[in-house]
Structure 1
Amino acid sequence: MCGIAGIFHTEGLKPVDPDRVRRMCDAIAHRGPDGEGVWTAPGVGLGHRRLSIIDLAGSPQPMASAEGDVMIVFNGEIYNFKDLRRELQALGAQFRTDGDTEVILQAWRHWGIDCLPRLNGMFAFALYDLRQRTLLMVRDRLGVKPLFTARLPDGSVIFGSELKALLAHPSLRREVDPLAVEDYLAWGYVPDHRSILKGVEKLAAGHYQLLRHDAPPAAPVQWWDVSFADRARGNADDLGAHLLHHMREGVTSRMMADVPLGAFLSGGVDSSSVVALMAEASSNPVKTCSIGFDVSALDETAYADRIAEQFGTQHWKRTVSSDDFMLVDKLVGMFDEPFADASALPTFRVCELARQHVTVALSGDGADEAFAGYRRQTFQHREDQARSMLPAALRGPLFGTLGRIWPKADWAPRPLRAKTTLLSLAGAGEEGYARALAATSPELREALYSQDFKRLRGDYRAEQPLVDLMRNAPARSGLDRAQYADLKFYMPGDILTKVDRTSMAVSLEAREPLLDHRLVEFGARLPERMRVRGSTGKWIVKQTMRRYLPEDVLFRPKMGFVTPIAQWLRGPLAGAARGLAVDGVLARTGWFDAARIDAMAQAHIAGRADHSRLLWQLLMLGKSLDLLA
């Protein structure tokens, strides 16, 4: 795992200052403490920071092809590189190293852009072809690895693995995009179709962009998508056998490393499944790491301990204290953009623990998105069935009116939040799912914004890109569209961003075997009954893993990392909550109704209401804006 950065001139072959590229790389040195390198030529500069995982001494970057006509900086892993290497050698390719980076170079030389579907892995890379004088920037299918880009006033394009690499360039403007603030308030993160700064973009998952010196930047091109349009045939046993095959391939392919390797173990279905399959494939005990909480209601370590004992793992665990709020400022520095998923704190702690023992850790991320493991997906499935029973002309007025007058109960489990359900049923399925996924409703945001901010935002609403994505999805049903939205919108923007930044902050490589694209494509073809039955999501995964895992691990309610932010905002962070509306960078923006925020903060601190999610979002937004100023 590594960090990359670079500069490319689209208006001529102006020289690139290598020190400028080096400073961009230095800003992301945590991603690659084992090596560094910069290469420049007229009109282009590439920089790299290396975390050595494979071919530890033999694959420095930037790397040139054996022929000297192609250069690359690469972040990630190609899990099938040995197979590709043999295929390329049969075509006459020459190799000087034993790693995967050189395989990409030769794959480009022999197959051009058609090499991308052949790569099985997680990656973001920039490849400069000296023959064609073009720069190719690529991001992996599902967006495991990030890539930020920006066009500067002088016509150059800069890029980097994190926003902080771009911020190291003195010509980058630091103007906050108000539409990104609307997005952030809606979702709790800035999704991949936008950046917190105007002019900065994120290359979308499964896309590439080709730049030339004598032309403005071409639009990114999608090279991969997942389709829910087809259905696999077979009974549960047959499909379960195929599923297990794909899961095993996903896990074993990601156990390739020349450094110590282990796994995160929460005690849930997904991480336990990964550990079970690792133990099956390994002759040595698997190394596992877990995080617990000193609040018993949030602690899952008993389940992780059981799995560790069952599979004989070498297990380490650490308890996170309820006063871990002291990490807040450190988190803000990791993410650059505002990021309000509070599970980032325990995720960072488990990465810290893992890095003490391994350099690579496998996670269970991705199965909920690929196989319908979230409760909101099962609710969406049921709500779609209800929508189909009543015409929209009746549903809208009936449920809309009831939803508007129903009292708000955000503290309750979703089945008891009738207001949310009624408003969801009143609209189309896509609009209902946007409500289910949102951190704050459009009504709450409208009440929070000042008139000045509403003018800046115009008629843009954060839900519309998600609604459009779902409506245009290659899908058959509402459940398909919900999963498509989670895979394409929520997962890269939230889950994968969280894991990438927290793991890279401690120079740990995290790998997601359940996001092997062959497994994801298989999941998308499954009949709905194999994904959801009754209130049980991820049904076929749980049935298939019964041979490995105990029933109470497979079928207990999903918990996930939970952080006691409500208590923090009534205790050690109460002062910060009170100050949101009256002092600091957030108050100075003039974007929000200060009196309303103050009233919400006071009500939360007094225990009259729970506004912790919104207050946390605003707190993280303010701290991020302070960092970007």
Structure 2
Amino acid sequence: MCGISGIFHTQGLKPVDPARIERMCDAIVHRGPDGHGIWTAPGIGLGFRRLAIIDLAGSPQPMASANGRAMLVFNGEIYNFRELRAELAAQGAHFHTDGDGEVILAAWQRWGVDCLPRLQGMFAFALYDLDRRTLLLARDRLGVKPLHMAHLADGSVIFGSELKQLLAHPSLRREIDPLAVEDYLTWGFVPEHASILKGVEKLAAGHYRLLRHDAPPPPPVQWWDVSFTEREPGKAADLEAQMLHHLRQAVSSRMLADVPLGAFLSGGVDSSSVVALMSEASSHPVKTCSIGFDVPDFDETAHADLVARKFATSHRSRVVSADDFALAGRLAEIFDEPFADASALPTLRVCELAREHVTVALSGDGADEAFAGYRRQVFHHREEQVRGLLPGSFREPVFGGLGRLYPKADWAPRPFRARATLLSLARNGEEGYAQAVSVTTPEQRAALYTPDFERLRGSYRGEAPFVDLMRKAPARSGLDRAQYADLKFHMPGDILTKVDRTSMAVSLEAREPLLDHRLVEFGARLPEAMRVHRATGKWLMKKTMRRYLPDEILFRQKMGFVTPIAAWLRGPLAADAAAIGTSGPLAATGWFDRKRIGALAAAHASGRSDNSRVLWQLLMLDKALGRLG
């Protein structure tokens, strides 16, 4: 796992200053503490920071092809590189290293951009072809590895694994994009189609760009997508056998490493499944780690301990104090853009614990998106059945009217929180699901904005790209469309960003076996009844893993990483929350209603209401703006 940097001139072959590449690389030492390198030629410069995982003594980057006519910087892992190497060698390719980077170079020279579908793994890379004078920028299918880029006024394109590398370039403008602020307040993160800074882009998952000198940069090209239009035939037992095959293949392929390897273990279905299959494939005890909070309601370590004992793992756990609020500032530094998913706090802590003993850790991320494991997906599936029975002309006035009359009851047990469901049923499926995934409603955001910001925002609403993605999804049902949007929008923007930044912050490589593209494609073909069974999501996966895991793990209520943010904002962070609207970078924009923010903070501090989510969003936005200003 590593970090890449680069500068490419689209207007002529102007020389690239190596010092600028050096500064970009210095900004991400955490991604690659084991070494670095820089290469420049007319019109191009590449930089690299290395975290050595495979071929520890070899595979330096930037790496030249065997014939010296192509150069590569590469972040990620190609899990089938040995099979590709053998195929290419049989066709005359020569290799000087034992790593996967040289395989990418040979594959490009043999197949061009058609090499991308042959690569199985997680990656973001830049490959410069000296003969064709072209630069290929490519990103893996699901977006596990990031790639940011910006077009500068002098005609150059700068790119890097993290935004902080682009910020190291003196010509990058630091102008906040108000539409990205609207996106952030909608979702709690800045999605992949946007950037907090105007002029900065993120190469979308499953896309590439092929840049040429003396030519305007072309738009990105999609080289992979997942389709929900087909259904896998076969009986339940056959599908279960296929599921197990794909799971075993995904896990075992990601256990390749020349450094200590382990796994995160929360005690939930997904991480427990990964650990079970790692234990099956390993001749040594799997190294596992988990964390919990010193507040019983937030602690899951007992479930992790149960799984660790069952598979005799070498397990370490640590209890984190619920008073560890000082992490808020560090998160702003790690993420660059505002990021309000509070589970980043425990994710960072479990990465720190893992890095004390291993360099690579397998995670359980991705199964909820691929197999319909989120509660909101199960609810949406049910709501779509209702929408199929009742026309919109009936649903909007009836359910909409009831929803507006029903009291908002965030404090009540889940079965009594009917307002959101009623309002969702009043909408079409896409708009209803967008409401379920988003953090704030359009009405809540409008109450925060000043007239100045409303003019800048115009008619744009953060939900619109998500709704459009669902409507255009290659899908057959509402559940299909919901999962497609989660895989393409929520997962790369939130889940994978969180894991990449927190793991790389401590120089740890995180691998996601449950996002193996063959497993994801299989999940997309499953009949709906194999994904959602009554009120249970991820049905086939749970049924398959019953041979390994007890029902206590498989069918307990999903908890996830829960954090004591609400308590912090009534205690040690109460003053920070109260000051958001009156002082600091956020207040200086003039985009937010100071009185409204003050009222939210006061009501939360007094305990009259729980406004922790929106206050945390605003606090993290304030800290991010301070770093970007």
Per-residue deviation, 1:412: 3.9
Alpha-carbon separation, structure 2, partners of 1:226 and 1:333: 33
Q: Give the counterpart letter for 1:477 in structure 2.
A: S
Structure 1 position 232 matched with structure 2 position 232: yes
Per-residue deviation, 1:415: 4.0
Per-residue deviation, 1:394: 1.3
Q: Which residue of 2 aligns with 1:27?
A: 27
Q: Which residue of 1 aligns with 2:218?
A: 218
Q: Which residue of 2 aligns with 1:131?
A: 131
Q: Which residue of 1 aligns with 2:361?
A: 361
Per-residue deviation, 1:420: 1.0
Q: Which residue of 1 aligns with 2:241?
A: 241
Structure 1 position 336 matched with structure 2 position 336: yes
Per-residue deviation, 1:449: 0.8
- CA deviations on 1:497-541 (whole Å, 9 max, x unpaired) are 000000000000000000000000000000000000111000011
Give matches, 1:267-282, under 5 Å: 267-282=267-282
Q: Which residue of 2 aligns with 1:390?
A: 390
Alpha-carbon separation, structure 1, partners of 2:13 and 2:416: 63
The DSSP-based 3-state class of the residue aligned with 1:388 is helix
Q: Which residue of 2 aligns with 1:568?
A: 568
Q: Which residue of 2 aligns with 1:589?
A: 589
Q: Which residue of 2 aligns with 1:606?
A: 606
Structure 1 position 314 matched with structure 2 position 314: yes
Per-residue deviation, 1:405: 2.6
Per-residue deviation, 1:410: 2.9
Q: Which residue of 1 aligns with 2:101?
A: 101
Q: Which moved more, 1:233-242 or 1:217-226?
A: 233-242
Q: Which residue of 2 aligns with 1:504?
A: 504
Q: Give the counterpart letter for 1:119 in structure 2.
A: L
Q: Which moved more, 1:580-589 or 1:116-125?
A: 580-589
- CA deviations on 1:226-277 (whole Å, 9 max, x unpaired) are 0000000112111010000000000000000000000000000000000000
Structure 2 gaps, min length 5 = none
Structure 1 gaps, min length 5 = none
Runs (4 or more) in structure 1 with deviation over 4 Å come to: none
Q: Which residue of 2 aligns with 1:370?
A: 370
Structure 1 position 150 matched with structure 2 position 170: no
The DSSP-based 3-state class of the residue aligned with 2:117 is helix
Alpha-carbon separation, structure 2, partners of 1:601 and 1:244: 49
Q: Which residue of 2 aligns with 1:64?
A: 64
Structure 1 position 478 matched with structure 2 position 450: no
Give matches, 1:280-295, under 5 Å: 280-295=280-295
Alpha-carbon separation, structure 2, partners of 1:229 and 1:243: 19
Q: Which residue of 2 aligns with 1:424?
A: 424
Q: Which residue of 2 aligns with 1:266?
A: 266
The DSSP-based 3-state class of the residue aligned with 2:486 is helix
The DSSP-based 3-state class of the residue aligned with 1:280 is helix
Q: Which residue of 2 aligns with 1:579?
A: 579
Alpha-carbon separation, structure 1, partners of 2:414 and 2:225: 31
Q: State the TM-score, normalizing by the size of structure 2.
A: 0.99
Q: Give the counterpart letter for 2:458 in structure 1.
A: G
Alpha-carbon separation, structure 2, partners of 1:617 and 1:429: 27
Q: Which residue of 1 aligns with 2:8?
A: 8
Q: Which moved more, 1:415-424 or 1:348-357?
A: 415-424
- CA deviations on 1:114-133 (whole Å, 9 max, x unpaired) are 10000000000000000110
Q: Give the counterpart letter for 1:102 in structure 2.
A: E
Alpha-carbon separation, structure 1, partners of 2:78 and 2:418: 47
Q: Give the counterpart letter for 2:369 in structure 1.
A: E
Report the RMSD for the aligned CA atoms in angstroms: 0.7
- CA deviations on 1:167-201 (whole Å, 9 max, x unpaired) are 00000000000000000000000000000000000
Q: Give the counterpart letter for 2:290 in structure 1.
A: S
Per-residue deviation, 1:397: 1.8
Alpha-carbon separation, structure 2, partners of 1:229 and 1:545: 26
Q: Which residue of 1 aligns with 2:86?
A: 86
The DSSP-based 3-state class of the residue aligned with 2:124 is strand
Q: Which residue of 2 aligns with 1:350?
A: 350
Q: Give the counterpart letter for 1:54 in structure 2.
A: I
Q: Give the counterpart letter for 1:479 in structure 2.
A: L
Alpha-carbon separation, structure 1, partners of 2:581 and 2:265: 40
Alpha-carbon separation, structure 2, partners of 1:349 and 1:625: 24
Q: Give the counterpart letter for 2:298 in structure 1.
A: L
Q: Which residue of 2 aligns with 1:165?
A: 165
Alpha-carbon separation, structure 2, partners of 1:188 and 1:346: 17
Alpha-carbon separation, structure 1, partners of 2:417 and 2:21: 52
Q: Which residue of 1 aligns with 2:520?
A: 520
The DSSP-based 3-state class of the residue aligned with 1:465 is helix
Q: Which residue of 2 aligns with 1:448?
A: 448
Q: Which residue of 2 aligns with 1:200?
A: 200
Give matches, 1:289-304, under 5 Å: 289-304=289-304
Q: Give the counterpart letter for 1:208 in structure 2.
A: Y
Alpha-carbon separation, structure 1, partners of 2:339 and 2:537: 27
Alpha-carbon separation, structure 2, partners of 1:273 and 1:378: 21
The DSSP-based 3-state class of the residue aligned with 1:309 is helix
Q: Give the counterpart letter for 1:490 in structure 2.
A: H
Q: Give the counterpart letter for 1:428 in structure 2.
A: N
Alpha-carbon separation, structure 2, partners of 1:241 and 1:468: 36
Q: Give the counterpart letter for 1:118 in structure 2.
A: R
Q: Give the counterpart letter for 2:507 in structure 1.
A: S
Alpha-carbon separation, structure 2, partners of 1:194 and 1:598: 29
Alpha-carbon separation, structure 1, partners of 2:205 and 2:404: 37
- CA deviations on 1:301-329 (whole Å, 9 max, x unpaired) are 11101111110100011101001111111
The DSSP-based 3-state class of the residue aligned with 2:338 is coil
Q: Which residue of 1 aligns with 2:460?
A: 460
Quick one: percent identity of the two aligned structures?
75
Q: Which residue of 2 aligns with 1:257?
A: 257
Alpha-carbon separation, structure 2, partners of 1:412 and 1:478: 28
- CA deviations on 1:413-449 (whole Å, 9 max, x unpaired) are 5543222111111111000000000000111011111
Aligned residues: 629
Q: Give the counterpart letter for 1:575 in structure 2.
A: A
Q: Give the counterpart letter for 2:562 in structure 1.
A: V
Q: Which residue of 2 aligns with 1:120?
A: 120
Alpha-carbon separation, structure 2, partners of 1:523 and 1:87: 29
Per-residue deviation, 1:581: 1.3
The DSSP-based 3-state class of the residue aligned with 2:500 is helix
Alpha-carbon separation, structure 2, partners of 1:404 and 1:204: 38
Alpha-carbon separation, structure 2, partners of 1:56 and 1:569: 45
- CA deviations on 1:365-385 (whole Å, 9 max, x unpaired) are 000000000000000000000
Alpha-carbon separation, structure 2, partners of 1:287 and 1:364: 15
Per-residue deviation, 1:403: 2.0
Q: Give the counterpart letter for 2:379 in structure 1.
A: F
The DSSP-based 3-state class of the residue aligned with 1:144 is coil
Q: Give the counterpart letter for 1:551 in structure 2.
A: D
Q: Which residue of 2 aligns with 1:140?
A: 140
Q: Which residue of 1 aligns with 2:190?
A: 190
Alpha-carbon separation, structure 1, partners of 2:343 and 2:407: 28
Alpha-carbon separation, structure 2, partners of 1:129 and 1:575: 55
- CA deviations on 1:545-576 (whole Å, 9 max, x unpaired) are 00000111000000000100000000000000
